[in-house]
Homo-oligomer: A and B are copies of this chain.
């Protein structure tokens, strides 16, 4: 890849009227990046002027939006966690959960505590609200209610936390395919996703150069990176799922662990006996990992090796501090299949595996559906809590109707907002191309912004500390016709400004 070209592809623009600030922690090297938006003063009707304090917001965009930092994708980002990791080298288990249980507050924990507070001061808190403390983060991680995905070989990442008692997070899927393969395009999409708010990304590449694509992404990713190792394992045996084996899978796990992948989706909860529950389904098994493993089980007449070797998988994860994301291989692919026996039988097995991973000191989250109509969403959350003891839930939408291909970012944002409010910790985005094709750069942005909306409205409804501060700043600016400030506070300043400039706004259109 030509060095000059790839560095030109990525967006390095700062956000309008914004400054990158770093809030220092008490521990060595803890400097938490945030975005501070400068606001213009209020002009009162009596011609007096009142200052508006700058607004500090959560920022996933990494060093890319800091003009003071030189970035060369060929070299990768600065390894901000390197010394923290080295200081802990002696331990057999490297996971944040292991340290949390020992009562140790890691620098990662202090980092996420500061980050979650978004620069809030005590005066901005409403009655009954409390700022997040590093000790609270430690407790949540120790109990399994929250995870900090942080592979020791991904020192470039800015720590973040996934758990029901924190800001709702979102994940963006990227990845090349046999149809459309190019490393630079995927890196470009990844940086674009960080910019607009992806808290983690998953690299779901299935085409050529899987290893190399992931290497470029990891070395340049300020957010945790997840993968589905089964996809690469399958490529190694040229797509013949019956040739899969524990050995090939194990080798792939270690290859990706060494590179620095922060969490693995593993469909270990799909048992041989669950498969028969899918026979009468409208849409069978729609999870790719699920379909692969079901085929393997049926061909070999054996229990899935992901299940039989689960303890060994956990031992690998613990060594690198990779979080396990227990995949829902039997998630419903249609409204008709929502909340059926296949889905919930697997969920119960995921709960059992969650406990086994915790016993090994491995951080866990649980993946959830899929296609679910609104009135069936609550049962998903309740059973997940029951079976999985409040391990973070990580759902794909859910999509609330099947009839709107081209708009599934919207059908699923409705479900995502609802399940986020109920306590789901991370929402996996869905782009307008879902069910139709692969997302391009524009689709990635639309998907990310749509999911920032779903996550934020969840936070407002859950009453997360300080969630409403940004809304209040926007509404004040709106009421005072401070247009520039409205654009800067918006999740997507570019689109807001462009739409505004298309028609000259008059009083009527402003007030409707």
Q: Which residues of A contact B (CB under 8 A)?
A: 177-180, 204, 206, 282-284, 286-288, 291, 333-337, 371, 373-375, 400-407, 409-411, 413-414, 417-418, 421, 432-438, 440, 449-450, 452-454, 456-458, 460-463, 468, 470-472, 474-476, 478-479, 486-487, 489-492, 495-496, 498-500, 502-506, 508-512
Contact = CB atoms under 8 A, between A and B. Distances in A.
A413 B406 CA distance: 16
A407 to B, nearest CB: 6
Contact of A413 (B410, B458, B509, B510): B410
A288 B511 contact: yes
Contacts of A496: 405-406, 436
B403 A490 contact: yes
A407 B449 contact: yes
5 contacts: A335-B460, A374-B421, A375-B461, A433-B499, A440-B502
A460 B415 CA distance: 13
Contacts of A407: 449-450, 453, 491-492, 495
A453 B404 contact: yes
A409 B461 CA distance: 19
A452 to B, nearest CB: 8
Contact of A406 (B411, B474, B495, B508): B495
Given A286-B511, A432-B499, A402 B475 contact: yes
Given A401-B456, A410-B413, A475 B178 contact: no
A413 B116 CA distance: 28
A495 to B, nearest CB: 4
A492 B406 contact: yes
A98 to B, nearest CB: 33
Contacts of A495: 406-407
B437 A502 contact: yes
A373 B453 contact: no
A458 to B, nearest CB: 8
Contacts of A333: 475, 478-479
Given A405-B490, A450-B407, A471 B206 contact: no
Contacts of A487: 405
A283 B404 contact: no
B479 A437 contact: no
Nearest to A446: B407
Nearest to A490: B405
Contact of A405 (B406, B436, B479, B486): B486
Nearest to A509: B438
Contacts of A454: 414
Contacts of A472: 282, 334-336, 402
Contact of A478 (B283, B287, B512): B283
Contact of A461 (B374, B432, B510): B374
* Of A409, A438, A512, most B-chain CB atoms within 10 Å: A512
Contacts of A179: 503-506, 509
Given A403-B491, A409-B410, A436-B499, 11 more contacts: A282-B476, A287-B512, A336-B471, A336-B472, A374-B461, A375-B462, A401-B471, A407-B450, A411-B457, A414-B454, A437-B500
A476 B407 CA distance: 19
A236 B354 CA distance: 70
A484 to B, nearest CB: 13
A444 to B, nearest CB: 14
B471 A509 contact: no
Contact of A508 (B206, B375, B456, B461): B206
Given A335-B471, A403-B474, A508-B178, A411 B486 contact: no
Given A335-B475, A437-B502, A438-B509, A492 B404 contact: yes
B335 A500 contact: no
A489 B435 contact: no
B417 A400 contact: yes
A503 B437 contact: yes
Nearest to A399: B457
A218 B243 CA distance: 67
Nearest to A440: B502
A440 B179 CA distance: 36
Contacts of A474: 334, 402-403, 405
Given A402-B474, A406-B499, A414 B453 contact: yes
B479 A335 contact: no
Q: Which 3 A-B pairs have the closest CB atoms?
A: A334-B475, A437-B503, A406-B495
* Of A206, A492, A498, A511, most B-chain CB atoms within 10 Å: A511
A456 B336 CA distance: 15
Contacts of A337: 475
B499 A405 contact: yes
